[in-house]
């Protein structure tokens, strides 16, 4: 995608609602483009989190105003747009209040923990005509955009199957981050983590999920203790007092084109990247969605394929720094999503990762969780 010149105009004035891990990642990315972005106001219920975030701003950056209540930030802050990075169950009110205060909204994924919440936020966007973009950051990763375009051009024929393996360490703990271990507060591990991947399936396959089935459970992470197989995560027992989320799952999905996909999730296999691929009628593509996402393999002509999962044998399509268009910090697409948001706010460019996409990935994740918690029944996706 060729980006228009976006260096015109004054920096977009961002107000940050919550200053935790993800907000810090946003700040590290937007601080690389002071010509486009300025953080003018920050808010968190925890002062230490605001201190830590503020320390990431370069010395020449104007000092943002600080608030302990986001409503004060909306009332008195010099803010054009907000980034909502509160825990998942706390997106709804800040998003709606921000729209009512006339601010554009960048809302973290998962969009919400229920479809009704998604609808309420979409209604607020439509009522106010302001911009709403969802932080499904991988949509802005240049390698994945190149993959999606290559598939859309028909290079692997009809996309028929897709897979994704998320083999990772348990969720981080400390600094109040234990909310992810409680389903009540996170909406569940599959919603929290895999909304990205359900969206990638639909995006790459050019299809909508119709039906899901999943099996999952807890092998490693149990209430108040962790089992031997879990990597050493320090003071786990002390910090994670309650834990009722899944730590592994096997998930199958069917799409309206007849395509199928499969996702494996495991929380006790750190640092294995995120293998992802699509099989088509004429060839396949695969990549590893980790922090060095620099390209993908294109395996044309299925007959000639030397099938090796770990060592793909196709042509490597490199997506160079130049083609990537921008550097990112922590997440591929981490800066690109803000450049796109800027364009939507300032130039009216249509939002790429819309609230409707955020709602759909939420719908799929909730359907998968319903299937797993009911012992593996088939569940229709109702969005
Ligand atoms: N796009 C991605 O890849 C990605 C990655 C990580 C997290 N996230 C999402 O970002 C959001 C935040 O995750 P995180 O990792 O930053 O969590 P975190 O626990 O590190 O930070 C959450 C912050 O919210 C603050 N907070 C809680 N209630 C608040 C309130 N009422 N007003 C103001 N601040 C409040 C907490 O004090 C904390 O500082 C979640 O929705 C998460 O799913 C997205």
Q: Are 67 and 77 in contact (CB under 8 A)?
A: yes
Distance 85 CA to ligand 1 centre (A): 4
Distance 88 CA to ligand 1 centre (A): 7
What is residue 203's predicted lDDT score, i.e. its pLDDT? 98
pLDDT > 90 fraction of the chain, expressed in percent and rounded: 64
Atom of ligand 1 nearest to the CA of 22: 16
Q: 382: exposed, middle or buried (C-beta count within 10 Å: 0-12, 13-18, 19+)?
A: exposed
Mean pLDDT value across residues 296-307: 56
The conformation of residue 51, written as its DSSP 8-state character, comes to H
pLDDT band at 273 (very low <50, low <70, confident <90, very high): confident
What is residue 292's predicted lDDT score, i.e. its pLDDT? 54
pLDDT band at 322 (very low <50, low <70, confident <90, very high): very low
What is residue 2's predicted lDDT score, i.e. its pLDDT? 38
Cα gap 121→95, rounded to integer Å: 7
What is residue 58's predicted lDDT score, i.e. its pLDDT? 95
Instruction: Please check the confidence at residue 319 and state whether its pLDDT lies above 70.
Output: no
What is residue 306's predicted lDDT score, i.e. its pLDDT? 46
Cα gap 281→108, rounded to integer Å: 35
What is residue 223's predicted lDDT score, i.e. its pLDDT? 59
What is residue 307's predicted lDDT score, i.e. its pLDDT? 46
Instruction: Please check the confidence at residue 325 and state whether its pLDDT lies above 80.
Output: no
Q: Are 88 and 113 in contact (CB under 8 A)?
A: yes
Does residue 213 or residue 304 have the better pLDDT? 213
The conformation of residue 59, written as its DSSP 8-state character, comes to T
The conformation of residue 291, written as its DSSP 8-state character, comes to T
Atom of ligand 1 nearest to the CA of 180: 19
Does residue 42 or residue 307 have the better pLDDT? 42
Mean pLDDT is lowest, of 97-111, 181-195, 300-314, for 300-314
Q: What is the pTM of this model?
A: 0.92
Distance 24 CA to ligand 1 centre (A): 10
Atom of ligand 1 nearest to the CA of 43: 33
């Amino acid at each position: 995608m060729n980006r228009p010149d976006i260096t015109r105009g004054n920096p977009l004035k961002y107000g940050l609602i919550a200053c935790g891990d993800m907000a810090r990642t946003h700040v590290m990315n937007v601080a690389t483009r002071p010509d486009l972005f300025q953080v003018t106001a920050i808010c968190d219920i925890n002062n230490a989190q605001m201190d830590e975030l503020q320390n990431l701003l370069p010395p020449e950056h104007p000092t943002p105003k600080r608030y302990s209540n986001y409503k004060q930030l909306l009332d008195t802050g010099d803010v054009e747009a907000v980034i909502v990075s509160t825990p998942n169950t706390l997106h709804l009110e800040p998003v709606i209040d921000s729209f009512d205060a006339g601010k554009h909204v960048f809302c973290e994924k998962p969009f919400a923990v229920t479809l009704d919440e998604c609808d309420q936020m979409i209604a607020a966007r439509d009522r106010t005509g302001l911009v709403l973009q969802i932080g499904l950051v991988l949509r802005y990763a240049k390698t994945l955009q190149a993959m999606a375009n290559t598939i859309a051009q028909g290079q692997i024929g009809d996309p028929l199957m897709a897979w994704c393996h998320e083999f990772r360490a348990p969720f981080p703990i400390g600094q109040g981050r234990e909310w992810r271990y409680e389903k009540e507060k996170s909406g569940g591990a599959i919603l929290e983590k895999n909304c990205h991947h359900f969206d990638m399936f639909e995006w790459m396959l050019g299809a909508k999920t119709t039906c899901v089935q999943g099996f999952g459970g807890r092998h490693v992470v149990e209430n108040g203790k962790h089992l031997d197989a879990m990597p050493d995560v320090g003071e786990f027992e002390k910090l994670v007092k309650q834990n009722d989320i899944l730590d592994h799952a096997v998930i199958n999905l069917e799409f309206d084109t007849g395509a199928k996909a499969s996702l494996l999730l495991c929380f006790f296999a750190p640092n294995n990247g995120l293998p992802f691929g699509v099989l088509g009628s004429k060839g396949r593509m695969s990549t590893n969605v980790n922090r060095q996402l620099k390209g993908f393999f294109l395996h044309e002509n299925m007959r000639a394929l030397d099938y090796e999962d770990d060592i793909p044998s196709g042509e490597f399509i490199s997506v160079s720094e130049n083609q990537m268009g921008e550097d990112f910090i922590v997440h591929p697409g981490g800066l690109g999503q803000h450049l796109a948001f800027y364009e939507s706010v300032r130039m009216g460019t249509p939002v790429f990762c819309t609230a409707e996409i955020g709602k759909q990935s939420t719908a799929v994740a909730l359907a998968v969780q319903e299937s797993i918690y009911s012992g593996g029944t088939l569940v229709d996706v109702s969005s």
